[in-house]
Amino acid sequence: MNLLKTPLLHSQENIPHYVPKGNECALFETALVRQLPLLLKGPTGCGKTRFVSHMAARLGLSLTTVSCHDDLAAADLTGRYLLKGGDTVWVDGPLTTAVRNGGVCYLDEIVEARKDVAVVLHPLTDDRRILPLERTGETLEAPDTFMLVVSYNPGYQNILKALKPSTKQRFVAIEFDFLPREQEIAVVAIESGLDAAKVAPLVDLAYRLRAMKGHDLEEGVSTRLLVYCAALIDSGMPVKEAVLAALIEPLTDEPDIRAALVEVTNAVIN
């Protein structure tokens, strides 16, 4: 069955806005058809999650999103027995539900999860495409419409939270980065409602601040923060107040670095 010819379940109006930078949309569609797991890597707030939402809606697939964190264990994804009304019943986790029903299961920032999560994913990321549930004795076979997508930020890792090569090589991968200047201006303008001419200096400032990543900053300004900043301005907040609230304060708690960012802001935005 050619999955790309199945009718969309959502109208075009309900598809989240996304601006392709390369061939990522075609690669996503091909990975779905050929039943390949997909790995998205790139900086925080560059559009990875929006891309997955866009593609799932565009292809008419349900989307299950899990934001991974330090305490996320395999059982949180597969399921567990719970007490209900005096009885012990099995309750599927989000991954198990997605495997049973089909659709996209998106694990955001996979490296944040506990190590046992990768072990659970391995049978789903090779030709078996199965999910063994040891506690129930079931072995679920993923339907043709199931797709596993994971993401992480390679620039924000340490030795203890790196994705193992043996896991990475189970996926086809797409590298994301921030959009070129004109495209990012257009996206922020559409998302925030602020005029593109007023968005342009914000994007220019973001480029200046991103150049400081790895020196004074751990992370650069995300497109998401730019949208927040533009939305504040569109609501009537003075530009520099919006920049302070949305672009500077979220990036650092250090007074010296904060002062340096304010200086850069004053140099870029009059």
Same domain, 52 and 102: yes
Same domain, 12 and 100: yes
Q: In residues, how long is the chain?
A: 270
Does pLDDT of 148 surpass 90? Answer: yes
Same domain, 130 and 193: no
152: tokens are 């992480």
Q: How far is it, in rounded angstroms, from Cα 58 to Cα 4? A: 10
Of the chain, the end-to-end C-alpha distance in Å amounts to 57
User: What pLDDT, on a 0 to 100 scale, did the predictor assign at position 5?
Assistant: 42
**Domain edge (last residue) among 175, 199, 223:** 175
- Span 90-98, average pLDDT: 96
Same domain, 150 and 167: yes
Same domain, 145 and 24: yes
Q: Give 50-67 pLDDT, tens digit per residue.
A: 999 999 999 999 999 999
- Span 125-131, average pLDDT: 95
Does pLDDT of 2 surpass 70? Answer: no
User: What pLDDT, on a 0 to 100 scale, did the predictor assign at position 12?
Assistant: 60
**Domain edge (last residue) among 175, 209, 233:** 175
**Domain edge (last residue) among 151, 175, 199:** 175
Same domain, 74 and 204: no
> Minimal CA–CA distance to 51: which of 22, 27, 19?
19
Same domain, 151 and 103: yes
Q: How many domains are contained in the chain? A: 2
Mode of pairing for the β-strands spanning 63-67 and 138-141 = unpaired
Does pLDDT of 242 surpass 90? Answer: yes
Half-sphere exposure of 59 (CA within 13 A, CB side): 26
Same domain, 15 and 148: yes
Reported pTM: 0.87
Domain that holds residue 107: 3-175
Same domain, 132 and 185: no
Same domain, 23 and 135: yes
Query: Contact 171/151 with Cβ under 8 angstroms?
Result: no
- CA distances to 66, 68, 123, 145, 195 from 142, in Å: 18, 22, 10, 8, 46
Same domain, 136 and 7: yes
- Span 229-247, average pLDDT: 97
| Residue of 24 and 160 predicted with greater confidence | 24
Write the CATH number for 31: 3.40.50.300
Q: How confident is the model at residue 156 (pLDDT cuts 50, 70, 90)?
A: low
